[in-house]
Structure 1
Amino acid sequence: MEVNLIQEAEERVSSEFVNRPLRSVRRRSDVWTFMEYRTSKANNSKYIECKLCGLHLTASSRSGTSNLRKHLLNRHADQYHPKIIPDRHVVKRGYRFAAGPFSSRDDNDKAKDEERENKEGQEGDEAKSEADKNKMELEDEGMEGGINVEANGGDRDSMSQLTKARRLAQSSVKKAVARLHQQKSGNVPGIFRKIVCSSSRAQGISNSIFRMLIEDLLPVNIIEGLGFRALVDALQAGYPFPTTFGLEERLLARLAEGRTKLAKRLSSALKIGLSCDLWTDYHNRNFITVTSHIISTDWRNESWVLGTVKVKANATDVDVAQQIRDMCRDCGVTISDVPAMVYGTDGVQSVADTTERLKVLKSICAFLNVESRPCAGELLGISVQNALGVPSLAKLIQDAGQLISHLSTDRTCQQELTRSLKDQKKSLTLTICDTSSGWQVISDMFCQLAELEEVICKVLGADHEANLSDLQWKVLHELIQALQGVKAAVAVMGDGRNKSGSCWLPVMHGVLQHIDTPNAEDISDDGQVFRNILSAELKSRCQLNEILPSSLMMQAAAIDPRFHHLRFLSDEDRVPVVEGLKQKLSENHREGLENGSPEVEEDSPFFALLGEDEFNKKSIKPEDVIDLFRLERPVSRETDPLNWWRLNEKRFPGLCKLAKGILCVPIAATPLCKSTETSRTRENRKRLDHVHVDAQLFLHKNNGLFE
């Protein structure tokens, strides 16, 4: 016999089998807030659709809203929070449903609910035992009195089914109550967590993780970390984590797409300058990252990473050169289109190791058959470090570090310094370093001590053993003055307007002039030795002892509208430079005539009336173009030379092509002014897996290709 638990029972059930009578008044169930009737277009059959997840549910009269309520309790317990279980829903005991995550029930209400549940449970057990006793008496009477057991058995079966259904539903409700209690406390067992992340939501999270790996340069195996998975699971439960293999395939696919776009972008460039950076990761594995530099059609200096190659331990310079050549070919770059390559290192090794690594890079560039030059920042750093290596200056650096250590540890000195600086409205910032630190850090330490010299001498006294001597204080000021020119050169070459090598020679001649002509006549011996060594190092390493008219850096200065008068050279030295520039312009002009047809201009209506326009009349000889360009008034040194060429491109069409081929060569292989973002990127790349470092660095640096 089928029994409908939703509708009113047709037959009156004896109260000895039921704890409480069924409710006579039906109310609309709260499940319809989350459910909606639908009609199928195929066979016009009706079904119910969940508004939360879109699942189709049956709507039979047998199950009624029970299936719908079970679906909400199992799948959407975080959004479905019924306050009271309806009487018609399986258990007629008036259980108050567990509080949802957004309810505000106090402890007194919870205690009352627990007391009522215990009391009603005892009453239910007594009613159950009494019902079992009556059932046994009826069976005995039927056997003794010959009652029609078949007829009464049907009633007993129906009551048994009803009781069994009630008990089963009561167990389900208790589980739901326990699950919601645990959800509120934040401790949900895995068997109750059936929250499913939608496909669109999962795809969005996967894209965010992929973007995080590229932008922050994090290892791919971070998705396998327990802490990372716990974080994502707390933010979005049920998220299916991608595998490492899946992320690797996605990285390789994005890398192939990016190189295709990069090859298309570089195809419009006349010349492509290259720079290579040799760096070491935390596992002492060496890598070379190659970057391309071009002048775009709208005269903007663009830099794009071509790729990163791993230098094997037994690889020769020829093998590394072939790796770089193959990588350039994959990006559509021909080595013959490269005017020069600038090479450098990460600068974390000693001076001797850095010098050896630069020699290796120079040898690799020689096998590539391109003109090469070292990074400007590397040359300045090595020159200053060698000049500071004098024993007396090394002793000064050591004593200065010990002085700062004493000021930082002695409590009396700290109190006196704080009091004195408060009166002078100064802040106390001290940097401790030694001879192994970079020259910029040493210079900052000297500047801090020089600013606090008066206060330090007042606190410690001139004769204190931790204080510097008068001669050391004098040498310290002389070193600060000499290093001001080098620091100014780094600031100029680190500016975004001076990415090309056109400012290299003018700046270096200015540094030498600053070093060779000290302001003080009574300079100390140590100060003079430092200046002499620094000047000799810069002239030797930067090739400033002789004038090289055909060098790329000299031609870059001659074609820059800020320095095209070459005032840093004598009149005799300017002549060969100008002649070399004219010769190169003539060669480019001949190559243009051989490779393509000359440009044909349409006649203007003015030509028929007034004849040839003197303004647009072009010089036939390239020498005339160079002479006209040199007659131009120099622009401000704060001006970007590319902006000037963009405005005067039509006036000097042949010379502007030569300018694009020369100004695309950068002045440095690594950033001279290291910002926080640059330092973070250089540190993060050291922890990448060697299998993924090429793809992740390419996508990190070339994010603009996909915008």
Structure 2
Amino acid sequence: MYVARKASLKEWISSQQHRVSLTTDIWTANVTKASYMVITVHFVDADWRLRKLILGFKHITDHKSNMISKVLLDCLAEWGIEKLFTITVDNATANSIGLKKFIDEFKLLRHDSLVLGGYYMHMRCCAHIINLIVQDGLTKLGRNITVVRNGVQYVRFSTSRCDTFELKVVWSSTYLMLTRAMKFKLAFQKMEDEDKLYNDYFMELKNGAKQKGPPTYSNWRAIERFVKFLGLFYTATLVVSASTKGCSYKCYGEIVTIEKNLTNMSTSYDKELSKMHVEMREKFSKYWEGIKNINKMLIVASVFDPRQKMQFATMCFEKLYGKDSKDAKDMCTSVLNLMKDMLVEYTYYNKGSSTQSSQSNPSSSTAQDQFIFDSLSSDIAEDVVPEFERMDDAYSDLVSSKGGGEMKDELDIYLKYETETPKTLPGSEWDVLSWWRLNSQKFPILSKIAKDFLAMQVSSVASEEAFNNSGRILSAYRSCLSHYIVEVLICTKQWIKQDMKINDKDCHSNSQILADIELFDNLQRGKF
């Protein structure tokens, strides 16, 4: 079953003939301590719907760059994928080195395997970067958070539940705990005044020392100031972590929102917030400093939202660097130049497909007749009369000398059109992919670029989801499963979930649902 499904999916992906983006991450099983690398593919299909499939759940012997590069190359060769747009990974040094080695090998497969030589292919996980920035801020609030957490722990009286708050990587749980605790600030203060057990709780010894708390007025003030600011990061994490719908065009807006408020934080009259800004800003600039360190693909992606185009990016540059400033103008120029370079490259690579379509068109007979006539005329001209200058030929030469006016026109026309102002129902979201599907004939090349940008992932959350399933599959009772069987179970389960979407089925009957459950049970027993 696994082999058959894999073969059909491989054929289906090949039939799409599109460039794809990847997300990948590494996970170590708690029970077996074996490490696995998951590779997930993302692309927009012929019907302009975003697709996501796990290509492999590969066992790896180490986390070094050579292993990462080799597993990626082998997995893509296994699936016959030869054209990539971006690969999204977390910020480990081994990933950066591994992707450099991967690019050097992969671009040898074919001349169009990577866009612009793979210079922008490496996409750092935005959710991970946000996590790094927030951790620096939470460190400064360590004691304030601890005393509030201890107060919450007393109320809930469940240490196991409060263990979640100790996880440094899951800072969002700390944020949610603090926001909820803030709503009951007066209740905590009343308990301190009237509840003897509450006060005795903080006198108890834990590891030879009294517990910190109860939370005081100054603790609540410090928490209140930072929680409002932390909300920006929480919202940004939710935006960039969406993997079922395209979110690449939203990412730059979240980055600028964070940067602008970090700048405001530095000039705050609040000394504590001003101190937090220094370390948080340093971490931000390391990955997202606008002029040097940010991957400009994140900015270009925002331009492919018809509601924003270059107007939004230009506004962001002016907010950050000042209106009419040199830096703002330079950023606008660099983004436009990047889009023009991509348009030139995509136009060149799509010449073959456009030629084939024109040959299959009945109206192409006129073009063929004209070609024969021109050939005969040129032969006669060489023998009878000197070469004459034709105005249509002169214009073609003029267009060519200016670097391809038609290619620039497609981008210019898109940018010169007024931005879209669609009306949506409350709770619903405007579908950017649908707009590009409807306008793909108007922008034949630009729409192909839009497909790749809208499928680009800005976080590796899509790959991390596989680890939730693997944790259940690799339980203590299944610790003897071979690495191949683990991959079969993980991949097949995800493929079954995607089956309904791939086959364009709106719903499953009860019998179909039961059949899928029975199939997965058989897979877990090794019957496949």
Residue 389 of structure 1 is matched in structure 2 by 139
**Given residue 28 of structure 2, which amino acid in structure 1 is its aligned partner?**
T
Q: Which secondary structure does the structure 1 equivalent of 2:309 belong to?
A: coil
**Given residue 76 of structure 2, which amino acid in structure 1 is its aligned partner?**
C
Residue 51 of structure 2 is matched in structure 1 by 302
Residue 666 of structure 1 is matched in structure 2 by 457
**Given residue 645 of structure 1, which amino acid in structure 2 is its aligned partner?**
W
Q: Aligned pair in 2 of structure 1 residues 599, 405: CA closer, same or farther (>3 Å)?
A: closer
Q: Which secondary structure does the structure 1 equivalent of 2:316 belong to?
A: coil
Distance 2:252 2:222 in 1: 29
Residue 236 of structure 1 is matched in structure 2 by none
Q: Aligned pair in 2 of structure 1 residues 366, 685: CA closer, same or farther (>3 Å)?
A: farther
Pick the aligned partner of 2:248 from 493, 501, 517: 501
Residue 554 of structure 1 is matched in structure 2 by 299
Distance 2:411 2:19 in 1: 21
Maintained 8 Å contact 2:38/2:463:
no
Distance 2:464 2:184 in 1: 26
Following superposition, the deviation at residue 317 of structure 1 comes to 2.8
1:245-296 CA-partner distances (Å, limit 9, x unpaired): xxxxxxxxx2221221122111123201111121111222111010111110
Q: Aligned pair in 2 of structure 1 residues 673, 695: CA closer, same or farther (>3 Å)?
A: closer
1:641-680 equivalent positions in 2, closer than 5 A: 641-671=432-462, 680=468
Larger Rg: 1
**Given residue 509 of structure 1, which amino acid in structure 2 is its aligned partner?**
V
Distance 1:274 1:679 in 2: 16
**Given residue 257 of structure 2, which amino acid in structure 1 is its aligned partner?**
G
Q: Aligned pair in 2 of structure 1 residues 432, 576: CA closer, same or farther (>3 Å)?
A: closer
Following superposition, the deviation at residue 643 of structure 1 comes to 1.1
1:639 aligns to 2:388 (yes or no): no
Residue 341 of structure 2 is matched in structure 1 by 583
Q: Aligned pair in 2 of structure 1 residues 274, 450: CA closer, same or farther (>3 Å)?
A: same
Residue 697 of structure 1 is matched in structure 2 by 490
Q: Aligned pair in 2 of structure 1 residues 593, 438: CA closer, same or farther (>3 Å)?
A: closer
Maintained 8 Å contact 1:261/1:705:
no
Higher relative contact order (CA 8 A, sep 6+): 2
TM-score (norm 2): 0.68
Q: Which secondary structure does the structure 2 equivalent of 1:293 belong to?
A: strand
Residue 454 of structure 1 is matched in structure 2 by 186
Q: Aligned pair in 2 of structure 1 residues 382, 518: CA closer, same or farther (>3 Å)?
A: closer
Maintained 8 Å contact 1:558/1:577:
no
Residue 224 of structure 2 is matched in structure 1 by 477
Distance 1:541 1:300 in 2: 30
Following superposition, the deviation at residue 497 of structure 1 comes to 7.0
Pick the aligned partner of 2:285 from 501, 524, 539: 539
Following superposition, the deviation at residue 631 of structure 1 comes to 2.0
Pick the aligned partner of 1:511 from 258, 264, 274: 258
Deviates more, 1:465-474 or 1:282-291: 465-474
TM-score (norm 1): 0.52
**Given residue 492 of structure 2, which amino acid in structure 1 is its aligned partner?**
L
1:281-324 CA-partner distances (Å, limit 9, x unpaired): 122211101011111001000011111111114x7532442232
Maintained 8 Å contact 1:280/1:686:
no
Residue 20 of structure 2 is matched in structure 1 by 272
Q: Which secondary structure does the structure 2 equivalent of 1:666 belong to?
A: coil
Please list every run of 5 or more consecutive structure 2 residues that lacks an aligned counterpart in the other structure: 104-117, 203-212, 319-327, 365-403, 423-428, 504-528
Following superposition, the deviation at residue 510 of structure 1 comes to 1.4
Following superposition, the deviation at residue 583 of structure 1 comes to 2.2
Following superposition, the deviation at residue 502 of structure 1 comes to 2.5
Distance 1:602 1:671 in 2: 45
Matched positions, count = 400
Distance 2:454 2:445 in 1: 15
Pick the aligned partner of 1:629 from 382, 400, 414: 414
Q: Which secondary structure does the structure 1 equivalent of 2:251 belong to?
A: helix
Q: Which secondary structure does the structure 2 equivalent of 1:333 belong to?
A: coil
**Given residue 641 of structure 1, which amino acid in structure 2 is its aligned partner?**
V
Maintained 8 Å contact 1:291/1:303:
yes
Q: Aligned pair in 2 of structure 1 residues 553, 439: CA closer, same or farther (>3 Å)?
A: same
Distance 1:680 1:319 in 2: 23
Distance 1:333 1:307 in 2: 13
1:35-46 equivalent positions in 2, closer than 5 A: none
Please list every run of 5 or more consecutive structure 1 residues that lacks an aligned counterpart in the other structure: 1-253, 345-354, 411-428, 605-618
Maintained 8 Å contact 1:430/1:448:
no
Maintained 8 Å contact 2:131/2:169:
no
Q: Aligned pair in 2 of structure 1 residues 454, 366: CA closer, same or farther (>3 Å)?
A: same
Q: Aligned pair in 2 of structure 1 residues 368, 492: CA closer, same or farther (>3 Å)?
A: same
Q: Aligned pair in 2 of structure 1 residues 312, 437: CA closer, same or farther (>3 Å)?
A: closer
1:559-595 CA-partner distances (Å, limit 9, x unpaired): 2323322232235121221122112212221233367
Maintained 8 Å contact 1:398/1:435:
no
1:365 aligns to 2:99 (yes or no): yes
1:48-73 CA-partner distances (Å, limit 9, x unpaired): xxxxxxxxxxxxxxxxxxxxxxxxxx
Residue 84 of structure 2 is matched in structure 1 by 338
**Given residue 460 of structure 2, which amino acid in structure 1 is its aligned partner?**
A
1:378 aligns to 2:119 (yes or no): no
1:574 aligns to 2:343 (yes or no): no
Following superposition, the deviation at residue 462 of structure 1 comes to 11
Distance 1:543 1:375 in 2: 15
Maintained 8 Å contact 1:279/1:286:
yes
Q: Which secondary structure does the structure 2 equivalent of 1:569 belong to?
A: helix
**Given residue 365 of structure 1, which amino acid in structure 2 is its aligned partner?**
L
Pick the aligned partner of 1:526 from 272, 280, 299: 272
Q: Aligned pair in 2 of structure 1 residues 481, 636: CA closer, same or farther (>3 Å)?
A: farther
Following superposition, the deviation at residue 532 of structure 1 comes to 3.6
Taking only aligned residues, the RMSD between alpha carbons, in angstroms, comes to 3.3
